Amino acid sequence: MQAFVIHQFGGPEVLQYQPLPVPELKPGEVLVKTAAAGINPIDWKTCSGGGASAFIGNLPFVPGWEFSGAIVNGNGTRWQADDRVFGMIRFPEPAGCYAEYIAVPADQIARVPDIVELEEAGGLATASLTAWQALFDKGQLKAGQCVLILGAAGGVGHLAVQLAKWAGAHVLGTASMHNHEFLGDLGVDRVIDYQHKRVPEHAKDIDLIIDCVGGESGIEALECLKPDGRLVTLPSVTKDIVAAAGQAQNRHVEAIRVMPDAAQLEQIIALYADDILRLQLNDSYRPDQLEEAFELSATGHVCGKLILSFA
């Protein structure tokens, strides 16, 4: 098979598309022929020596934690050959999803309904699980509450918007002006142009903030919270300074590391199949375009998800 491999940390130029043996299965694993893999910031951050690089051990390393595809070998599990599946697996340990075949834990994946395109499913798991766990596990969101999503047009943000609306929340979001119409179509009740407005002056008495931006933006947004509100911050690089600012202001701040969860994926894909949830695909890339995709992701201004297609 062919797979993307890094032999040293660095920029997109360190990615090599090269032959590797098809993975051998251990008990509880299935073999999947990959249709698509989601391209996430954690991928290029890890390849550069940041991100989850502390968990990957010795190089070489095959990036990628989310995928979609078809079962080739069910290996005695409940999965059968040709079953269409998707998932986010093993995170933050190495998962090797940027490859034509993947050895996948059978208990970390969910079935893709026939009406859902496999390529779309390839970019759904990580962002939707992050949004779900931030809103409902860490954020304890309840119907009728007011949610502010920083970076609402991004991969996680636009899914968090939809899940919060589905849960019965009043949703505010921050975005640059060119994304306001997009977010309005998703159901955001009010979009704040963070480039020209100070967010705390336009968002007050917030029950829950989902901080997809981090740093000074996350710290500034603490002013928006109700006294008993909470902020869930996603970017790992700035989580400590946001948490410290929250502690200094006597505000409740939670950091999050997304975890594989097949039961949550089953709920998410059911919402997706029913058109309650939709994934904004920014673009799909062939293997020979992955370096370009990494460079775009690193700008931090991507609306929706980037997909690596093995079709």
- Tokens of residue 223, six digits: 């002013």
Q: Which string of b and e fits 182-200 if b means at least 16 CB within 10 Å?
A: bbeebebeebbebeeeebb
Digit-by-digit pLDDT tens for the chain (311 residues) are 999 999 999 999 999 999 999 999 999 999 999 999 999 999 999 999 998 999 999 999 999 999 999 999 999 999 999 999 999 999 999 999 999 999 999 999 999 999 999 999 999 999 999 999 999 999 999 999 999 999 999 889 999 999 999 999 999 999 999 999 999 999 999 999 988 889 999 999 999 999 999 999 999 999 999 999 999 999 988 999 999 999 999 999 999 999 999 999 999 999 999 999 999 888 899 999 999 999 999 887 777 789 999 98
pLDDT at 194: 87
Please choose, from the candidates 89, 114, 91, 117, the residue with its C-alpha nearest in 3D space to the C-alpha of residue 103: 89
Determine which helix (DSSP H) or strand (DSSP E) holds 226, and give its type and residue range: strand 225-233
pLDDT at 196: 86
d(CA 40, CA 309): 14
